Structure 1
């Protein structure tokens, strides 16, 4: 996996919820930060992942760690916020520069189809549906995402997770271990699937 150049990616500008432009590196100046890069705000799987990661928010906050969500476009942001899927602050990378610099791949119109209907995506989508989380197909369907955890002051990259499939995500335990907190939350159970049926 390519090494993250925090000096380079940190200069990229994000749009805050208030509309102000902020440099990515400002988010880790005062504290460690967990940065969750969503594929789309309307993505059902992303919404479930956001809700999962948000289970850690109280313990992250107690440990002095910020939780931040980043989307590649503003489309769907209001619905996402109204749905209450994510408990951290939210920014938009309108130029998708962070996504590019962090190696989050873009699918082609052809390659997204097998990725989107793959077993890992179906598993998470089934769990999201069981949890009452819906999604839509608005926006950029081709962007993938991931997770970046940076130590206070940009000293170290504690985790750099790149989605291989749209259904990939790090475990809550992996995130907790990366920032050195003890998580007492219970992760949502991934459903057990075969080719014909998914169950909780």
Structure 2
């Protein structure tokens, strides 16, 4: 270790390493955390297709496993579709649909656990703009909690990290939102391998506005893509987006360090 390195604080060294992946060939092969969501809790979940029509009595019922039967699938497990922070996550993921779905071949779906008033239609029309399903049994939410629903206290809205999440949302996307519906049941994000190969990536929401890092989502999507070997340009495209997201994260952490409201 050089003398300069010895002078870095642990936080400074972390920040430097976060954006110093100069070996591009290793970026998309980086080891992501081992998923902990049990696959056996996911495959038989019954979902209601909310994309068909407005008559709830005739909506199509499907088993969750059919969503990734033939291709990988990204599943956004939405805590509350009216939430400002959930809408922010949806619209940020939706901006990558061209890359994730059209180029990498990974279907993107969202699940909600309730339909209250026009919350789901507003969420889908203005933010997610994709396929959405009702998980009435809250099976995906239970699976992310290893069989149990994970709840957050309403007082979590006063946590510094949550306040910072709202501040981030206001600055980055400024989504409209409301307090309609049950928003204490924590969700997350899953990336499923095709067939019965299981979970490739999972992210368990820890508090309000806690989102899966987009750079990790793109890395996992690339790793499970069935198209990456047939289109050599895909690697460069995904690497470019991952590097961009890492640099944005670096800048955000720098701002948080100055404000004193964020944790690494």
Same topology, TM > 0.5: yes
Unaligned runs of 5+ residues in structure 1 are none
**Match status 1:33 vs 2:76:** no
Secondary structure of the corresponding residue to residue 74 of structure 2: strand
State the TM-score, normalizing by the size of structure 2.
0.65
**Which structure shows the higher strand fraction?**
1
1:153-168 to 2 correspondence within 5 Å?
A: 153-168=195-210
Counterparts of 1:2 and 1:66, CA distance in 2: 19
Q: Is residue 30–residue 152 contact of structure 1 (8 Å, CA) maintained in 2?
A: yes
Give the drift of 1:71: 1.1
Shift, 1:169, TM fit: 1.2
Cα RMSD, aligned residues only: 2.4
> Equivalent residue of 2:209, what SS?
coil
Q: Deviations over 1:86-139 (max 9, x none)?
A: 1431111112122112215123xxx231x2222232222223223230210000
1:13 aligns with 2:51: no
Aligned residues: 192
**What TM-score comes out, normalization by structure 1 length?**
0.85
Aligned twin of 1:91 = 133
Q: Is the 2:144–2:187 Cα contact (8 Å) retained in structure 1?
A: no
Residue in 2 aligned with 1:121?
162
- Distance, in Å, in 2 between the alignment partners of 1:195 and 1:135 is 27
Higher Rg of the two aligned structures:
2
Unaligned runs of 5+ in 2: 1-33, 53-58, 223-234
